[in-house]
Structure 1
């Protein structure tokens, strides 16, 4: 019996380790899956030196060069965006973004950040990193400035949000009231390439980073129960306020993931799906959790509970079995005297 609980505990540990590593292992290396060029921004860019691109529209302070698309310069009160013109009808996809955030501002003297979007509406400027607030779809924010002075987070901070038009990103709380999960990411003024990957497949949303120059993906967000429709647009926006940074996008590559779906899924009109997430807790609960990492981080509360419960049961069973075995040995030894 003790062996059974010990094996169960070890099995849970293995599952936990695999859950952390599995997301990284699932990400495509960029070669095995099919890149969708109609949704991808790849050098050499077409339209350099003009105000138009065949597959992309940009507005605001966005500037197209031969090496990067600069959403904002390192100047105050700038907003810029770039949006794919063609809606994406892939059920399962992965977006790889090569980006760079840099500027002359020192610690806590830079901002505000940029965002990646899979959204219903495009080219609608607003207060959320250069996009309108009540959007429909998915947003991944790279926030470089802490607006909430009481926060315990370390910035820059990456977070994910799914919206059906009813939620509003609150800058004063750095989006904690509506985010799903997130992680700290040291991405400013890096002397090596920095990447971010967003994967959506079978209702699972995964956000990974490769920002340390090691060519390794690391887990940032991993959430199941996400429902996103087809027919939305990919885009990137950025904004500066009293503080500023250069926000550069070097490439955005969208890959089609070859995933089989059930017959029921195939019969769904995916263009009519409402963006949503099945959560154990409401995003509003994040306001009471300064770190925002109670859910879908590397170690969530229920995982801790299960591991501690398994460990406690294993210890109790081992102690009982050990006591019984010890007592029987003592009785057996007495019979030999």
Structure 2
């Protein structure tokens, strides 16, 4: 536990340092209309006249693209027809989740995708399982919590999540999304987001720049972004498709997309960085040091006081070990000298 805590503390420092380092790079953004979806949704879903295609129960109205109505056993999606070859990008999602169900009697949620596959129905928020690429999920039903309650068990305070919950996952085509545990085993990170039945607008922000994935939310009606997750070392190939999907089961909700706005980010890179990225071509989605990141997330699940005392006692323990080592070495050295005299 001592070395685990010290290593986690070091990783956290490095992660924050990298975050500040990225802010030093100048960045410009440009709206890419061919990858964006907004009112009045002209031609969406019609053959050959739009960049976006509807699937399943999705339908277009004057106010939104409704992925699912507030009805049981529905699933729908909207997918871009054009693959995205941008190196750095930012997606701003204006969405709404609302329905007649009371708290924890609604479901199941929606997802924003950047994947190799498109237009394939499935159980993962209306998309196929074992997908290849990135999924950011707004999960509105706590499957694992309900199962634990049925077994007369409960979460520990450090592992409990509050739903709706936003999380991200990177799949390589062979990793399955675990419904029973609400994606806990494969999540990169996440945050709670009370987004149901709000009267003000709700937004999701997904940025991928310099192989760093950042997700933020704006759900409080204050027009301020709140951090959700920030993960370095995320490797996503170019040429994948953007999409949004949703699903309902025995419980339901209206899942609406009001807009998807994609921005191309222009980031200044050194000649060395450009060369390194050209040589390191990404063909399969992956995340660097994934197990190490999970370790950091586990420690972050502790309270601030617990983290403080864990780090404090870890450092004291390290000092104690150094002192013991010095004393032992001094005794050994003294004994060694006595043998020679």
Q: TM-score range by the shorter chain?
A: 0.7 to 0.9
Residues 1:50 and 1:233: Cα distance change in structure 2 (over 3 Å): closer
1:97 maps to which residue?
93
Structure 1 residue 45 displacement after superposition? 1.1
1:83 maps to which residue?
79
2:152 maps to which residue?
none
Q: 1:43 and 2:39 equivalent?
A: yes
Pairing 1:53-132 to 2, within 5 Å after superposition = 54-132=50-128
2:289 maps to which residue?
279
CA RMSD of aligned residues (A): 3.4
Q: Indicate if the aligned counterparts of 1:182 and 1:293 stay in contact, CA closer than 8 A.
A: no
Distance (whole Å) between structure 1 residues aligned to residue 301 and residue 88 of structure 2: 22
Q: 1:259 and 2:286 equivalent?
A: no
Pairing 1:1-337 to 2, within 5 Å after superposition = 19=16, 33-47=29-43, 54-148=50-144, 149=146, 150=148, 151=155, 152-261=160-269, 262-268=273-279, 270=281, 272-279=282-289, 281=291, 293-294=297-298, 308=312
Residues 1:243 and 1:282: Cα distance change in structure 2 (over 3 Å): farther
Map Cα deviations across residues 100-126 of structure 1 (whole Å, 9 max, x no partner): 000000011100000000000100111
Residues 1:37 and 1:201: Cα distance change in structure 2 (over 3 Å): same
Segments of structure 1 that go 5 or more residues without pairing to the other structure are 1-11, 287-291, 317-337
Distance (whole Å) between structure 1 residues aligned to residue 280 and residue 42 of structure 2: 34
Q: Indicate if the aligned counterparts of 2:130 and 2:174 stay in contact, CA closer than 8 A.
A: yes
Q: Indicate if the aligned counterparts of 1:223 and 1:296 stay in contact, CA closer than 8 A.
A: no
Distance (whole Å) between structure 2 residues aligned to residue 32 and residue 259 of structure 1: 7
Residues 1:48 and 1:178: Cα distance change in structure 2 (over 3 Å): closer
Structure 1 residue 304 displacement after superposition? 5.6
Q: TM-score, normalised by structure 1?
A: 0.76
Q: Name the count of aligned residue pairs.
A: 288
Structure 1 residue 214 displacement after superposition? 0.4
Distance (whole Å) between structure 2 residues aligned to residue 268 and residue 63 of structure 1: 43
Map Cα deviations across residues 218-243 of structure 1 (whole Å, 9 max, x no partner): 00011111100000010000000000
Distance (whole Å) between structure 1 residues aligned to residue 119 and residue 132 of structure 2: 13
SS at match of 2:298: coil
Distance (whole Å) between structure 2 residues aligned to residue 50 and residue 249 of structure 1: 18
Q: TM-score, normalised by structure 2?
A: 0.75
SS at match of 1:267: helix
Map Cα deviations across residues 268-310 of structure 1 (whole Å, 9 max, x no partner): 475x521000125278x69xxxxx9427789999x86896379
